[in-house]
């Protein structure tokens, strides 16, 4: 009987997690679609905790800078494949005021921290623990990269897959 209750509790928790994920990913999510049509749209606001170190980063704090926003996950093979090129592009464009910001999607912070250390990521990454920001951007998988202009608008191209570094400003 105890095993049956435990299985039922696990099923309820799994269904709740699925519901939260569905709500987060279906609320808004028009950014990617609009940018893919060639439109410029206001970037959804966010304030998320840093993956490494303390504090938070808000998109508003980066206003006036070009932002390369890369959604990633530590278990994503294409993310690992593109990370070296993203690191090079971030270093190349930093002197021109371009900010690279990683958004780690829905995983334990310790996995994300190990990823950043292993791949030598020098730019900041924040944790989207519940996937809400990915949902607002319309992210369907990782890696996905968006470009935000100095006015806070998401501009084409929206890069799905591991070609973001070659598309940097």
Q: How confident is the model at residue 11 (pLDDT cuts 50, 70, 90)?
A: very low
Q: What is the pLDDT of residues 77-129, one digit of tens each?
A: 999 999 999 999 999 999 999 999 999 998 899 999 999 999 999 999 999 99
Q: Residue 3: which residues within 8 A CB-CB, separation 6 or more?
A: none
Q: How confident is the model at residue 36 (pLDDT cuts 50, 70, 90)?
A: very high
Whole-angstrom Cα distance, residue 4 to residue 2?
5
Q: Where are the alpha helices (DSSP H) in 57-141?
A: 77-94, 109-118, 132-137
Strands of the chain (E only): list them: 41-42, 47-49, 56-58, 66-72, 98-105, 125-128, 144-148, 153-160
C-alpha 163, offset from chain centre: 15
**pTM of this prediction?**
0.80
């Amino acid at each position: 009987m105890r095993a049956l209750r435990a299985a039922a509790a696990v099923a309820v928790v799994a269904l709740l997690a699925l519901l939260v994920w569905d709500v987060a990913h279906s609320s808004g999510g028009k950014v990617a679609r609009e940018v893919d049509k060639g439109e410029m749209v206001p970037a959804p606001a966010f304030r998320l905790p840093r993956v490494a170190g303390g504090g938070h980063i808000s998109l508003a704090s980066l206003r006036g800078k070009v932002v390369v926003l890369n959604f990633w996950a530590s278990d994503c093979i294409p993310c690992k494949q593109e990370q070296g090129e993203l690191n090079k592009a971030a270093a190349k464009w930093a002197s021109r005021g371009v900010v690279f910001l990683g958004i780690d999607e829905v995983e334990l912070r310790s996995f994300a921290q190990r990823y950043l250390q292993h791949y030598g990521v020098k730019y900041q990454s924040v944790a989207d623990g519940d996937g809400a920001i990915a949902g607002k951007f319309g992210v369907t998988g990782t890696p996905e990269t968006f470009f935000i202009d100095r006015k806070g608008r998401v501009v084409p191209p929206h890069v799905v897959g591991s070609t973001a570094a070659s598309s940097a400003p």
